[in-house]
């Protein structure tokens, strides 16, 4: 984004979108998964990620990230549902219109949480939200960590969406609160594929001659994706379902959050 960007306006837009998304998501959960709230929350989270990404990496790179994340998420879900390669499942009308059996809002959800997980992992590994290391092995390692961080969210998401929101149905149950263990293997695989594609594409775009570094927006701006990931986990602690899942987020999601904050604060020193 050009240097003339007003950082105060950008911060205001970002936090209004993010907090609105969190409140909408929490309200929908408290209302046993009201479909309008689930859909609106995903849209607001997606818009907030686009605003943040535009200021962090520039509009070309965040647009590429958005298209890759949404496109691959839709394609892989479509193949999974259509071919039955994964454990069979299907979406219900709770998440709105479907195309090829895939709820249209789902790829947007993949993008917003993939973006938060992507930036969080960058903070853990490099001490900043934007990765600047480009070796292929490093990208593969960060992509695997991103996949694990993102899949940790589904440990509490899937039980709620299946048993309370009734947003999708597993045709065959499994040992984890009625959910097949293969679901989590598939989450890691899909997340890894998307993360690898996003990171390699971003490396290519960042190395182009016309690539312009985004202006620094400060430490709190870089911490926003970590805050989103953390607050999503906190909402699962407060109103997760079944109630037994409320003890999962502090460990599965809390540990990456603390590691990300430690990496970011140590690298930035006293900068605000």
Q: What's the whole-model pTM score?
A: 0.90
At residue 62, φ and ψ (nearest 5 deg) are -75, -30
User: Based on the structure, what is the number of domains in the chain?
Assistant: 1
Residue 245 inside a domain? The answer is yes
Residue 168 inside a domain? The answer is yes
Q: Which residue has the tokens 């605000």?
A: 272
Q: What sign does the dihedral 160-123-266-215 (CA atoms) show? A: negative
- In 3D space, the residue among 225, 244, 262, 269 whose CA is nearest the CA of residue 17 turns out to be 225
Instruction: State the first-to-last Cα distance of the chain, in angstroms, to the nearest integer.
Output: 20
Q: Do β-strands 102-103 and 98-99 pair in parallel, antiparallel, or remain unpaired?
A: antiparallel
Domain that holds residue 145: 7-268
Q: Token pair for residue 61?
A: 């790179």
Residue 79 inside a domain? The answer is yes
CA pair distance 29, 95, nearest whole angstrom: 13
Cis preceding-peptide flag for 45 (omega within 30 of 0): no
pLDDT tens string, the chain, 272 residues long: the values are: 344 455 666 667 776 776 776 667 666 655 555 577 778 888 888 888 998 998 888 889 999 999 999 999 999 999 988 876 667 899 999 888 999 999 999 999 999 999 999 999 999 999 999 998 878 999 999 999 999 999 999 999 999 999 988 899 999 889 999 999 999 999 999 999 999 999 999 999 988 776 665 656 677 788 889 999 998 888 888 888 899 999 999 999 999 999 999 999 888 665 54
Give the DSSP letter string of 61-100.
HHHHHHHHHHHHHHHHHHHHHHH--SS-EEE-GGG--EET
Assign residue 127 a region (left: φ > 0; alpha: ψ between -120 and 50; beta: otherwise).
Answer: left
Q: Token pair for residue 220?
A: 């709190």
Residue 2 inside a domain? The answer is no
CA pair distance 41, 88, nearest whole angstrom: 26
Neighbours of 44 (CB within 10 A): 21
Residue 1 inside a domain? The answer is no
CA pair distance 226, 224, nearest whole angstrom: 5
């Amino acid at each position: 984004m050009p240097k003339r960007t007003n950082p105060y306006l950008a911060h205001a837009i970002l936090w209004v979108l993010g907090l609105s998304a969190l409140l909408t998501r929490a309200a929908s959960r408290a209302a046993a998964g009201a479909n309008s709230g689930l859909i609106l929350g995903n849209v607001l989270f997606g818009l907030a990620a686009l605003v943040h990404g535009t200021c962090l990496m520039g509009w070309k790179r965040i647009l590429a990230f958005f298209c890759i994340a949404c496109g691959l998420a839709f394609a892989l879900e479509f193949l999974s549902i259509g071919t039955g390669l994964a454990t069979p499942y299907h979406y219900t009308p709770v998440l709105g219109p479907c195309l090829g059996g895939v709820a249209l809002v789902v790829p947007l959800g993949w993008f917003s949480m993939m973006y938060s997980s992507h930036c969080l992992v960058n903070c853990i590994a490099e001490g900043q939200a934007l990765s600047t290391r480009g070796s292929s092995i490093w990208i593969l390692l960060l992509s695997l960590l991103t996949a694990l961080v993102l899949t940790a969210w589904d440990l509490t998401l899937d039980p709620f969406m299946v048993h309370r929101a009734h947003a999708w149905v597993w045709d065959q149950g499994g040992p984890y609160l009625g959910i097949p263990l293969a679901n989590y293997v598939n989450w890691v695989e899909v997340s890894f594929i998307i993360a690898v594609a996003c990171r390699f594409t971003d490396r290519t775009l960042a190395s182009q001659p016309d690539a312009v570094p985004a202006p620094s927006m400060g430490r709190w701006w870089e911490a926003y994706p970590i805050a989103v990931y953390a607050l999503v986990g906190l909402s699962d602690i407060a109103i997760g379902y079944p109630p037994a899942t409320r003890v999962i987020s502090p460990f599965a999601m809390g540990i990456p959050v603390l590691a990300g904050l430690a990496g970011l604060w140590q690298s930035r020193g006293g900068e605000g």
